[in-house]
Structures are given as structure tokens and as C-alpha cells.
Amino acid sequence: MPMIETINLTKRYGDLVALDNLNLTIEDGSCYGFIGPNGAGKTTTIKILATLLKPSSGQAQINGLTIGYQNRQIRPLIGYVPDFMGSYEDMVVTEYLEFFAAAYNIHGMQRKKVVADVLELTELSYKATAEVNSLSRGMQQRLSVARVLLHDPRVLLMDEPASGLDPRARIEMRELLKELKRMGKTILISSHILPELAELCNEVGIIERGKLLFSGSVRSALQRAKVGHVIHVAVAERTAEAAEVLKKVPGVVKITIAEEDAGINSNGTRRAEIMHVSFDDTGGRSYTDIPNVLVNAGHRITKFTEEAVNLETAFMRLTKGLVQ
């Protein structure tokens, strides 16, 4: 049974359709990256799964329990981390956590132990007596994660947890999420920092204008986005002549020539001309013939690499940049 499942999930605000028949399946123990432009429907989805919004139609389930009908049973299973946390003024870290622990009916010595454990897990023990409002943005986000771990939920719903963090805080957040993944938590995380999602998540979903465009493994997303190849080729000299030679190769669609740094010599930084070759591999054509063609034409190759397709590339190719 999937841990998270939505069936034709739809949310309307008047004439605006925020979610349009969303069908999402996330297995127990998965770390699922939710990707989409602003206004795509990511936060709406997460708030519905957190039982904070009612869908207009369709269904959403956590561990087989239906949101809107079994919320009391669902809430102990989930932890919701919004992009910005709120707290009462003059509240210190331990008071903040003990307040929420009490809301989960955790009392006495068990409460103190649980608070100490989550502070250790999130590496905030040394800030136990600091005021929450005095913490940096990164520490506040880690405290927000600590808060939702108090009752040991099986599912974590995380809406842009790395939003606004500096590079060091992002790294610390990423390592914390890796540890939670190792603990077997099911994690749904939305983020704009796509390289980190590619490293963290075993599956991703790409959403735009409320519609799910893709859901599957990161590898599948990269394969789906990979239309043809882009090859970076450099020759020792006579780049323009080499480009004319390559234009006659079957499968070569387009060639652009650009300059880039090629190291430092006695006269300073040396510039080199690089050919960016777009290649269509349909019909069994292969770009591996390109080096032989250049060598037979009398050119010495100094660079020959294929451009890698990453999650950012996949996102750009699978979406159109549309918002509601």
C-alpha cells in the first residue's frame, strides 16, 4: 500500500484551478521531490496532505486513511514543515519544543527526553536556552524540523525547507534530510534547489499549472528530457573550417562556436573556441563518428565531451514556464 496517494485531487479557488486531477503515488520510505514553478500547486498539495485544506474534489490518502474523513488518525502520522516557521515572542528553544510536545500528549520525563533527542538529531543542543527569534534562518528551519519530529511521524511534508538559506545552512539541512531518509521516513519535499533534490530523492514529480507532468525516478526524468545530444568539441586550430566539415555529418543539426577559458599561459589566460554541436541520434545515427571525420579532415581534437542532462535541464525541457 502506498504511504501517500492522491486520486483525481482537485482544488479550486473560484475560477482558479490550483490542482487539476492530481494523481500521485509515493511509496513508504520514499524521498519524493516535488518540483514546479511558483503557483504550480505544490504548496496547495502539501497543505491538503497536512489536513490544512479541503480538496474541492478527488481524494487524498495517508497510509490508506482518507483526508477529510479520518484527519484525527492521520495527524499523528504526519509532520508538516512550512517554508517559514512562527513562534511566540521571548520563547526559548526548549520551551518552544516542550509546548508542542505537550500538544502531542508527551509529558513528564518522556517529554524532556524527546526534546533532548530531537535537539541532538538536529544539532541544536547548544542552542537549547537561546530565544527562538534570535536564531539564524538556517537554525530556525532545523528547529522547525525538530518540532515535527517530536511525535516520531512516519511522513514528513516539507515545503521549501531550504528556502532563503545560505550555502552552509543548505548543506546542514541536506545532511539532516539524508539522516531522516536513513531512518525510514517517507518524505515529500518541494524545493527550487534542483541539484540537491537529485542527490536526496529517489523519485520526483514535476507539476505545472496544477497538472502533474511527470512522476518517476530521477533517472527516468533525465531520460525523458534527453532529446538528442549536445557535444562540446574543440580543435587545435581552424575552428571555423572544422565547423564546416561537421555541418555535412548526418545527424548534426546545429553548430554554435563560443569562447571559453582554456588555462593560463605566459601571456595570461588563454581563450579557446569551442563548438557546441547539436546532434539528432534518431535513425541509428551516432555522434561517435565525429572524431574520425575531424581527424580525416586534418584536425587535431583537443576536447570532445557530451553535455550531461541534469535535473535542472529536465525541468526546463519538461515544463513551459507557465503559472496560474
* Residue-wise pLDDT tens digits, 231-274: 899 998 899 999 999 999 988 888 989 887 555 444 554 568 89
Same domain flag for 211 and 292: no
Same domain flag for 263 and 281: yes
CATH code, domain carrying 125 = 3.40.50.300
Determine how many CB atoms are found less than 10 A away from the CB of residue 234: 20
Same domain flag for 113 and 37: yes
Indicate the residue among 186, 209, 224 that finishes a domain: 224
Same domain flag for 120 and 148: yes
Same domain flag for 214 and 239: no
**64-73 pLDDT, tens digit each:** 999 999 999 9
Distance CA 180, CA 182 (A): 5
* Residue 313 located in a structural domain: no
The total of structural domains in the chain comes to 2
Same domain flag for 64 and 165: yes
- The DSSP output letter for 300 is P
**Domain of 107, in residue numbers:** 4-224
Same domain flag for 14 and 63: yes
List CB contacts of 217: < 8 A, sequence separation 6 or more. Answer: 202, 203, 204
Same domain flag for 238 and 150: no
Whether the predicted model's global pTM rises above the 0.95 cut: no
Same domain flag for 62 and 207: yes
Same domain flag for 212 and 114: yes
**108-154 pLDDT, tens digit each:** 999 999 999 999 999 999 999 999 989 998 899 999 999 999 999 99
